Amino acid sequence: MSLVPSTSPFASATPASSATSAPAAPSALGLVNAANRPQLSDSLFVKFASLIYELSGMRFEANKSYFIASKLDLRVQALGLKNFEAYLAYLESPSGRSEYGFLIDEITINETFFYRHEPQLQAFRDEVLMPMIFARKAQRQMRFRILSAAASTGDELYTVALMLKDMGLVGKDMTFELVGTDICHDALQKARAGVYRKYNIRNVPASILQQNFDHAMGTGGGTETWTIKPDIKSMCRFQEGNLMDTTRTSALGKFDIIFCRNVLIYFDEASKEKVVRNLSSILNDDGFVLLGHSENIYSQRHILRPDKTHTNAIAYSKAPPGTPKYNV
Ligand SMILES: C[S@@+](CC[C@H](N)C(=O)[O-])C[C@H]1O[C@@H](n2cnc3c(N)ncnc32)[C@H](O)[C@@H]1O
């Protein structure tokens, strides 16, 4: 799946291996300010921010200029370019398309960990999944598809797999298909590898950790790691996916439960509306969407509306077709 929405002028961009020129020191290139930090002029910030918005839907305001500059500087150095202007010119050139993936990989914030926000996971288990299983049992339809949209390094999707196993649901008369998508190639590679550090696994209950991870101390000063075991890994599939891309999102097929947590915070209302519409289009009629606990899609409640029966966290279900957009 390509990074760039198929309808965008940037469509068909794929990341290539980065240029190999020796990195140039930022101070030698006039990239640093008095505080020794790379700095973007206002006009360059606007240009980079609009490209990032076009590619990903993430909206960065001027107060994030230092953050963006520090990330762009890594690419400037990796490519051995002179300055931010040269990097922008490269991105705008025909060969610059192969750089989009690297740019987005730097800009995305991949913060995630296993068993993130326990109350919501309880709601997923007791108030979303279990009632769905009972309803499906009656219909003799026991196949469930669960999506972790913006899956980052896979912690969220593997958490779902671990919970299903812990609930004794794996290997019964039901099938679970677990899919994780993200725009960041680097994060997806880590998800597929399934090797984690202490920070990521700190919330995993001890018995689950012991049963489902291979622990390595990290010899010779190496890092202590926990690798997810093959039975859990084989339950999960990761692929590139841009939430803004309507065509490719719909190619994922329909899901019963969609986790889309801690990514809408980076989007403005227009991007959010597009993403919510895209997610709604791949949600089964009796399905639910779970967002991060600090996120809301109040302005998009004509598409996905809060389902009040879930007490521990809000689960969103499809608004009836034809629901008008609310003014506030
Ligand atoms: C903070 S992480 C959230 C990870 C996980 N869902 C969680 O809550 O722990 C946000 C993720 O959103 C991804 N992301 C940002 N824009 C995206 C887009 N347009 N399409 C898909 N993923 C995107 C980033 O690459 C990053 O991995």
301 and 267 share one domain: yes
pTM attached to this predicted model? 0.89
Backbone dihedral angles phi then psi of residue 273, each to the nearest 5 degrees: -60, -40
Specify whether 35 is located in the same domain as 58: yes
Q: Do 162 and 287 lie in a common domain?
A: yes
Residues 280 and 161 grouped into a single domain: yes
176 with 293, same domain: the answer is yes
Q: What letter does residue 326 receive in the DSSP assignment? A: P
Whether 33 has a pLDDT exceeding 90, the answer reads no
- According to the model, what pLDDT value does residue 139 have? 84
Question: Which atom of ligand 1 has the smallest separation from the CA of 148?
Answer: 6
Q: Clarify whether residues 127 and 219 are in a common domain.
A: yes
* Cβ-contact 250, 278 below 8 angstroms: yes
Shared domain for 56 and 175, answered yes or no, is: no
Number of domains in the chain: 2
Amino acid type, 267 = F
Distance CA 162, CA 156 (A): 10
pLDDT grade for 308, boundaries at 50, 70 and 90: low
Ligand 1 atom at minimum distance from 57 CA: 19
- Give the number of the atom of ligand 1 that is nearest the alpha carbon of residue 184: 25
Domain of 100? Answer: 26-107
pLDDT reading at 32 higher than 50: no
What dihedral do alpha carbons 269, 272, 274, 280 form, nearest 10°?
-140
CA of 151 to the centre of ligand 1 (A): 6
What value does the mean pLDDT take over residues 110-131? 95
Long-range contacts, stretch 1-4, CB < 8 angstroms, 24+ apart:
1/181, 1/239, 1/240, 1/241, 1/242, 1/245, 1/248, 1/251, 2/240, 2/242, 2/245, 2/248, 3/55, 3/56, 3/100, 3/101, 3/104, 3/183, 3/240, 3/242, 4/55, 4/100, 4/242, 4/245
* Among protein residues, the one whose CA lies closest to atom 17 of ligand 1: 183
258 DSSP β-pair partners? 147, 289
The pLDDT, as a whole number, for residue 319 is: 95
pLDDT at 211 over 60: yes
Average pLDDT, the chain: 89
